[in-house]
Amino acid sequence: MLSNIKRFFKIYPLPIFVLLLVFTIYYSIFEVLKKQDLKTAQPITEAELMQNEIPKESPITPKPIQESKLETPQPKLATPAENKMEEKVENNEIITSKVPSLNIRQEPNVNSPIIGKLTPHIQAIILEDDGKWLLIGANQNSKALGWVLKSYTKILPQKAILQETQEIKIDLPQFFTSLAPRLNIRQTPSTEAKILGSLTPEDSVEILENAGEWVKIQDINPTSNKSGWVMKKFLKEI
């Protein structure tokens, strides 16, 4: 058998050499490729894993909500204007009229409607003073009556105020108007007396005298001449 092998190599030396060469080349290529595959297949290091790892979102820790400090309500301090007004109310001066009949107006100007009269026997208190005009109020309850010209008023001394308070029970002027569309104003308190004019619901009068069923009236408007006697039952207070 050995002789047969030797004989074979002697007859085919070149093909055998070529075959061995090809085998060697293929083997070398195979080894090179195997090494490259092993290198590529190496496990990723821990550092590479850390670099490639997607960072996990850290859980959000809720911040504790701070309780708002409760503000203690501070007492409201009175302004100088309020203090001044309080002083006015507490120290109201008592006044009266220097003239027989002083117009009480709705607003502090001479064109404002007349809503009443202040006479020397009536006392009033000062609610407001703007220098020229006074806002006056009823002496008993401080109810606002209207505006009067300051120059025609006078302040009553304390003694006079006490005396007047004892002698006069009603300081608030009363004004009346007609219940009827046209109420006859007569010269004397009689249905037979001469008719001087008529009183309407648009008029405002004050009572000067009282005689049973009849009263003597006078218009509070100084430009009007409506004055005389009317039947009391046809009047209403305003």
Q: For residue 187, tell me if it sits in a domain.
A: yes
**Pick from 121, 155, 189: which residue ends a domain?**
155
Q: Which two tokens stand for residue 228?
A: 């005389």
d(CA 4, CA 123): 165
Same domain as 106, residue 142: yes
CATH code of the domain covering residue 134: 2.30.30.40
For residue 26, being part of any structural domain is answered with: no
- pLDDT tens for the 238 residues of the chain, in order: 667 666 766 666 677 777 778 788 878 887 877 777 666 555 555 544 455 444 555 555 555 555 444 455 555 555 554 444 444 444 578 899 999 889 999 999 999 999 988 988 888 999 999 999 999 998 777 788 999 999 999 988 865 554 444 444 444 567 899 999 999 999 999 999 999 999 999 888 888 888 889 999 988 887 778 899 999 999 998 7
209: domain range?
A: 175-237
CA distance readout (Å), 69 to 63, 64, 66, 72, 74: 18, 15, 9, 9, 14
Contact 171, 202 (CB under 8 A): no
Beta-sheet strands, E only, within the chain: 94-97, 102-105, 114-118, 124-129, 133-138, 144-149, 153-155, 176-178, 183-186, 195-199, 205-211, 214-219, 227-231, 235-237
160 lies in some domain: no
Asked, for residue 195, whether it belongs to a domain, the answer is yes
Model confidence pTM above 0.75? no
Closest among 202, 197, 238 to 230, alpha carbons compared:
197
217: in domain: yes
What is the tally of structural domains in the chain?
A: 2
